[in-house]
Amino acid sequence: MPVLDLLPDSAAVEDGALAIGGVRASELADEFGTPLVAYCEATLRAQARAYRAAAPEALVAYGSKAFPNLALLRLFAEEGLGADVSTLGELELARRAGVPGERLVVHGNNKSDEELRTAAEAGADLVVLDALDEVERAAAAGVRRVLVRVTSGIEADTHEAIRTGHHGSKFGLPPEEAVEALRRTAAAGLDPAGLHVHIGSQLLETQAARMAVEWLGAFAAACRTELGGWEPAVVDLGGGLGVRHVEDEEPPSVEEFVSELLQRLERAWDLHGLPQPLVVLEPGRSLVGRAGVALYRVGAVKRASEATTYVAVDGGMSDNPRPQLYGARYTAVLADRADEPGEHAYTVTGKNCEEEVLVRRVLLPEPRRGDVLAIPAAGAYTLAMSSNYNLLPRPAAVLVGDGEARLIRRRETLDEVLSLESP
Ligand code: LLP
């Protein structure tokens, strides 16, 4: 069944019923309610191990913005991963998860003094400078070791909102300013450990990332000349590897993506006579995307026109804004009739008061009120970007494996949502 390729490693269909981690998806929906995101523990560990195997010498820091969650941060820490954090909230969560300072990478294009101070207190090994005035502000906050994020000018082939390496990006410093930032670190008493690039997210091929690595080699060599022999001890290549949400997307595997980048880096560094650096990788989506399956309950089924029949589920853009924001495509399957051939094309919509579309024209057997609908590859940037639009409480998440499910984030209650109002 082709949809199985998009689902977690432990997904199986028995007697027509989709199971994840040995638990029927519809049972998860009954027990924990919907919308729900079910994460497969085996897939999370397998993805983490794939990164560690492809880059045994590197620091792999989970890009925690993809799904900031205590259980996942702990699980990845067990697998030897660190965390990339970009706000006080993400930093605090990583600290509570026990991620050691030497595996913490702190980002942010507009860091507050409090964020810089907390990074220093947490003993974060690497703080990534993203603005010229951060040099002195980081030093004053007690930060010691820094990277400088530089914009390579390379345009990744991805949605414009998640492309970050081009000239004019709000992230990183243009090359001349990055050199200036490095120059100023010494006077400020900082250790300029190296450089950072991140060209974009949901990359479905390696070309732009490979070019960025080559560009970075030349830039590092130029820095050496400009800065009297300085060479980067650390090179952080960011995240970016995409996941497959629908059958016609074909991202490279973790192994392919990482080994191509590392080979390119080794060659570029040799070419410029630079000593091989410690590499940092910051994958987010590719660690958690395919591990997570979103489960919804079908409500209204409505024939809106000759061409369109809607299946409305009990969530929507409030728990997955990606189709609305980036034109992201997903597919869907009815959890208890997963092996039945689809008869008609249905458009999956939600409860939010907009013409939102979660999945456009997916072939399904006739959906009925009460069915559980599963959306594969929904583990990254869904719950993380969820909102209370239309005062919908945010969904819960569970971790499944070996026939058991454990709540890792409880559902928000309506009282919690309403409690922010002044009486
Ligand atoms: N490192 C840095 C500095 C980043 O800015 C990001 C993502 C990552 C690592 C992780 O990238 P990943 O491996 O997940 O591609 N909300 C958007 C994605 C925004 C990505 C932001 N930065 C989406 O839903 O597609």
Q: How confident is the model at residue 234 (pLDDT cuts 50, 70, 90)?
A: very high
Integer Cα distance of 101 and 124 in angstroms: 4
Sign of CA dihedral 71, 76, 77, 81: negative
- Predicted confidence (pLDDT) per residue in 23-63, tens digit: 999 999 999 999 999 999 999 999 999 999 999 999 999 99
Integer Cα distance of 197 and 146 in angstroms: 13
Q: Are 83 and 98 in contact (CB under 8 A)?
A: no
Ligand 1, residues at Cβ distance < 6 Å: 63, 65-66, 84, 107, 162, 198, 201-202, 238-241, 282-286, 322, 326, 381, 385
Above 90 in pLDDT, residue 169? Answer: no
- 214, burial (CB in 10 Å: exposed 0-12, middle 13-18, buried 19+): middle
Amino acid at 355: E
Q: Which atom of ligand 1 is nearest to the CA of 128?
A: 3
Q: Tell me: do 295 and 280 sit in the same domain.
A: no
Q: What is the mean pLDDT of the chain?
A: 96
- Within 10 angstroms of residue 182's Cβ, the number of other Cβ atoms is 25
Residue 127 lies in a domain: yes
Query: Which amino acid residue places its CA nearest to atom 9 of ligand 1?
Result: 239
Span from the CA of 396 to the centroid of ligand 1 (angstroms): 22
Q: Which atom of ligand 1 is nearest to the CA of 159?
A: 25
Catalytic residues: 353
Which of 144-148, 167-171, 250-254, 336-340 is predicted least confidently?
167-171
Domain boundary among 257, 285, 313: 285
Residue 423 lies in a domain: no
Domain boundary among 285, 300, 316: 285
Span from the CA of 141 to the centroid of ligand 1 (angstroms): 26
- The percentage of the chain sitting over the pLDDT mark of 90, rounded to a whole number, equals 94
**If you count them, how many residues does the chain have?**
423
In the chain, the number of structural domains is 2
Amino acid at 203: L
Report the residue among 85, 285, 383 best suited for mutation to probe ligand 1: largest number of ligand atoms under 8 A from its CB.
285
Above 80 in pLDDT, residue 162? Answer: no
Tell whether omega for the bond before 35 is within 30 degrees of 0, i.e. cis. yes
Q: How confident is the model at residue 104 (pLDDT cuts 50, 70, 90)?
A: very high
Integer Cα distance of 66 and 291 in angstroms: 12
> From the CA atom positions of the chain, what is the Rg in Å?
22
Contacts of residue 255, defined as CB under 8 A and 6 or more positions apart, other chains included, come to: 50, 53, 54
pLDDT of residue 123: 98
Tell me the pTM: 0.97
Integer Cα distance of 86 and 106 in angstroms: 6
- Provide the token pair at 122: 């947490």
- Predicted confidence (pLDDT) per residue in 20-32, tens digit: 999 999 999 999 9
Above 90 in pLDDT, residue 343? Answer: no
Segments forming the whole domain that contains residue 333: 2-33+291-418
Give me the CATH number covering residue 243: 3.20.20.10
pLDDT of residue 154: 87
Ramachandran class of 403: left when φ > 0, alpha when ψ lies in -120 to 50, beta otherwise: left
Above 90 in pLDDT, residue 2? Answer: no
Contacts made by residues 182-185, CB under 8 angstroms, sequence distance 24+ = 182/148, 182/223, 182/227, 182/230, 183/226, 183/227, 184/132, 184/135, 184/136, 185/135, 185/146, 185/148
Integer Cα distance of 275 and 349 in angstroms: 53
Give me the CATH number covering residue 366: 2.40.37.10
Calculate mean pLDDT across residues 151-174: 85
Report the residue among 47, 65, 87 best suited for mutation to probe ligand 1: largest number of ligand atoms under 8 A from its CB.
65
Integer Cα distance of 362 and 373 in angstroms: 12
Span from the CA of 61 to the centroid of ligand 1 (angstroms): 12
Calculate mean pLDDT across residues 275-302: 98
Span from the CA of 170 to the centroid of ligand 1 (angstroms): 14
Q: How confident is the model at residue 145 (pLDDT cuts 50, 70, 90)?
A: very high
Looking at residue 132, the DSSP 8-state letter turns out to be T
